[in-house]
Amino acid sequence: MLRGTVEVEGCKLSSITMIISALLTDEPVVLEQVPVMLDHEILCDCLRRLGADVQRTGSTLRLHCRHLEPVVELPDAIIESVHGTTYLLPALLMRYGRVRLRRSRGGCNIGVRPIAHIAAVLRAFGAKVRLGDVIEASLPARGLVGCHIGLNYGAGNNKFISGATKTAILAGVLARGETEIENAYWRQPIVDLCRLLRAMGAQIEGEGSRRIRIRGVASLRAAKHRVSCDRLAMGTYIAAAAGGNEIHCRQASLEAMQVEADAFRRMGIELEQHGEDVIAAGARRLVAASLSTETLDTDLGPIFVVLMTLADGSSRLEDVVWERRFRYAAGLRRMGGHSVVRRRTIEVTGVPSLTGASVKARDLRSAAALLLAALKARGPSRIQGAAHLARGYEDLPGRLNSIGADIRSVPGGAS
């Protein structure tokens, strides 16, 4: 049985763009509740190489980009290692006036990571951009000028929306005139980013909706901001409550995951907000569901498939974002799950129980899903590739062990 309290770390995706935002001012930016993760350390290393003063004390980061070096080419190996370095492009462009950056091919291997939409957004502001393995961009003589950015949401284009929205915001806050982003991404990372930039003096309104308006300012100032809780980590802890467990998530809010909270409740997990805590209590048997990442967060899709595997009846999940998202399904089948993958959809028939097995995680969210399944299985499991977890969670095994799990590191994975 899992029972107890876990503290939810700050949001990984939010803090990535917040770290990069420090490049937009020569005054200090202090971020609180920043999780200790590999992706963040790589970005901080990039800023240090540019001459920034970066200091971490616990979960607090102090970033001061006052004395930056002349234009520096960051090592290709660093830039290519995580997807978040893509957002250095608009920030360095605004800071230096020109930028030459290796194209990032980092992140999990779950599908094609396009870059053309990032270039299209910058070109709409007037920047000159040349794409290739190395991306080159420069400001026009008059600087960037605010514009209308119309994003094509839906129809399989969802993977473009978040990155295009972040790029438009980072460019728009210091561009001359007004910028309007139509069909903007509306979820937590965008809301967090806009709140930080507003604290820095940016004029932004509409975050959390499909239309964001920005009036460019001449400069940004110092700010201090607390990163909100990571809804993806919280969703993982909530799912762990399935099977009659009760888990209290501290420093957590359901506000950032209303769609997912409704899906958890439909499947049989009770959720209650008590002040700054979320209490999750799971039924012993779950209810089947049909879900789509048209609204559900794609990164929580694998977690819901684990729940579907243990639900009564037939379920299905459609992933409209990533074309190679379901590679964890083979591991669930090795543990006794029943599923069939048909292009962008996985169809699941619930089973009474799972049995421990040796499985392989090929990406971050697969590792989380297989770890969750192993906790629900009878007997021990061995997960090869569990090291992926360090890219998206702050000690997920340790936090689960604190509430009754038995997870141990062994050579080649976790068991």
Taken in order of first residue, the domains within the chain and their CATH numbers are 12-226 (3.65.10.10), 231-414 (3.65.10.10)
| 202-215 b/e (C-beta count within 10 Å ≥ 16 → b) | bebebbeeeebbbb
- Euclidean distance between CA atoms 42 and 61, whole angstroms: 14
pLDDT score, position 155: 46
Given the residues 44, 108, 194, 249, select the one marked as catalytic.
108
- Euclidean distance between CA atoms 80 and 66, whole angstroms: 26
Question: What does each C-alpha distance from 407 to 307, 395, 399 come to in angstroms?
Answer: 20, 11, 10
Strands 128-130 and 134-138: antiparallel
**DSSP-derived secondary structure for 304-337:** HHHHHHTEESEEEEE-SS-TTGGGGHHHHHHTT-
- Euclidean distance between CA atoms 189 and 149, whole angstroms: 19
DSSP secondary-structure letter at 160? H
Closest among 415, 361, 356 to 392, alpha carbons compared: 361
Per the listing, tokens 């420069």 go with: 138
**Strand, coil or helix: what is 286?**
strand
108 is catalytic: yes
How would you list the strands of the sheet with 178-182, edge to edge? 148-150, 178-182, 211-215, 203-205
Residues 6+ apart with CB under 8 A from 78: 42, 45, 46, 49, 85
Per-residue pLDDT of the chain in tens (415 residues, 90 and over written 9):
899 999 999 999 999 999 999 999 999 999 999 999 888 998 999 999 999 999 999 999 999 999 898 766 788 777 777 778 889 999 999 999 999 888 876 666 656 667 888 999 999 999 999 998 889 999 998 999 999 999 875 545 566 788 999 999 999 999 999 999 999 998 899 999 999 999 999 999 999 999 999 999 999 999 999 999 999 999 999 999 999 999 999 999 998 899 999 999 999 999 999 999 999 999 889 999 999 988 899 999 999 999 999 999 999 999 988 777 899 999 999 999 999 999 899 999 999 999 999 999 999 999 999 999 999 999 999 999 998 898 889 999 999 999 999 999 876 545 4
pLDDT score, position 105: 65
Beta bridge partners, 359, equal 383
